Structure 1
Amino acid sequence: MKVSRRESIRIRHRRVRGKVDGTADRPRLAVFRSNQHIYAQVIDDQKQHTLAAASTLEPEVKSQLTTGASCEASAQVGKLIAQRSLEQGIQKVVFDRGGNLYHGRVKALAEAAREAGLDF
């Protein structure tokens, strides 16, 4: 039986989550990529609390874009999540690619977050 693309992502995400855990000192930068948008959250898994979040649906990001499904959009979300994390004193995170391959929009978000000052 052939496994669907979404199911493959879910399987990979479970495997990644078995190895990646966010703590108070080093929270998890989780990325979710849909066909039309991209979302990022900085999460403390011990307290089960989201510390910062950003997505292409936010008015400040959406107004500057023609589509939320591009590498440029992902880079803007990466810069925004890094800025919000640094404002809260979070400099080091662990990266959770959400079962997606480290390529394209996910890679663009990660590199933009690194350039904006996050360490991972």
Structure 2
Amino acid sequence: MAALQVITRAVSVRGGLSVTQSRKETDRERNCCLQVRNASPVSWSSALFASHGLFVPVSKENLRSRVSWIVEAAWTRRSKGQPGKNKKSWKQRTEKYFKPFILDVFISSKYVHAKVMHRVTSSVVSVATTNAKDLRLSLPSLSDANACRLIGQLIAERSIEQDIYAVAFDLRKNEKLEGKLAIVIDSAIEHGLTLV
């Protein structure tokens, strides 16, 4: 066919050896690259690429977008020692697998809530709260020290029923282990739950 033509050319390799390279080229490809091949080379690298037809014509719009992309990339590069934006440390990424269960205690002015969660799957394993129907009717106060002791006991028993004997506990920001929070934690430890 007239549209396809097999081109064979010699390609120089180090050490003076030559290898023949052949490929099929359409008329359209040949015409597009014809101007680049016939242009006088500015340097040896452009002469090498031009002689083998490796240049592809680039429009002005594509060239502008490539240049802007290169400038943007230059501003966003970081050295290897510098962490990326919002990158978590090794400890932050692996801690949830070493300590998979976490105890979360929330004490409001009305109620006391405690739950044990699986960190990786974010599933709740056991819950104890004074807002539950059975406790709401039986306790005189839903947020005093006795309610906190009962919540600690219930969360420990329900966690042990689910075969969870050790949980991690982290304080929230500006939170201290004292008062009602300490009562819930101590009660859970007394009833068989281990904090790691």
TM-score (norm 2): 0.47
Residue aligning to 2:177? 102
Corresponding residue number in structure 2 for 1:83: 157
Distance 1:45 1:70 in 2: 29
Going from structure 1 to structure 2, the CA distance change for 1:106 and 1:30 (only over 3 Å counts) comes to same
Name the counterpart of 1:72. 146
Tell me by how many angstroms 1:33 deviates: 1.1
Q: Which has the higher helix share?
A: 2
Structure 1 counterpart of 2:124, one-letter code: T
Q: For the structure 1 residues 24 and 51, does the alpha-carbon distance in structure 2 shift closer, same or farther, using more than 3 Å as the test?
A: farther
Q: Distance in 1 between matches of 2:169 and 2:140?
A: 27
| SS, match of residue 169 in structure 2 | strand
Which of 94, 111, 132 is matched with 1:37 structurally? Answer: 111
**CA-atom RMSD in angstroms:** 1.9
State the shift of 1:81 in Å: 0.5
Note if contact 1:32-1:97 (Cα within 8 Å) is conserved in structure 2. no
CA, structure 1 residues 77+111, in 2 after alignment: closer, same or farther (shift >3 Å)? same
Query: Deviations along 1:39-70, whole A, 9 cap, x unmatched?
Result: 00101111111111110111232233111111
What is the CA deviation profile of residues 77-104 of structure 1, one whole-angstrom value per residue up to 9, with x for unaligned ones? 0100100000000000011344432111
The letter for the 2-side match of 1:84 is: R
- Who is 1:49 aligned against? 123
Change (3 A) 1:111 1:83: same
- Is the alpha carbon distance of 1:89 and 1:74 closer, same or farther for their aligned partners in structure 2, counting shifts above 3 Å? same
Relative CO higher for 1 or 2, CA cutoff 8 Å, sep ≥ 6? Answer: 1
Unpaired segments of 5 or more residues in structure 1? 1-17
The 3-state SS of whatever aligns with 1:101 is: coil
More deviation, 93-102/81-90:
93-102
Q: TM-score, normalised by structure 1?
A: 0.75
Larger Rg: 2
- 99-108 vs 39-48, greater mean Cα deviation: 99-108
**Contact 1:31/1:96 (8 A) holds in 2:** no
Percent identical residues = 27
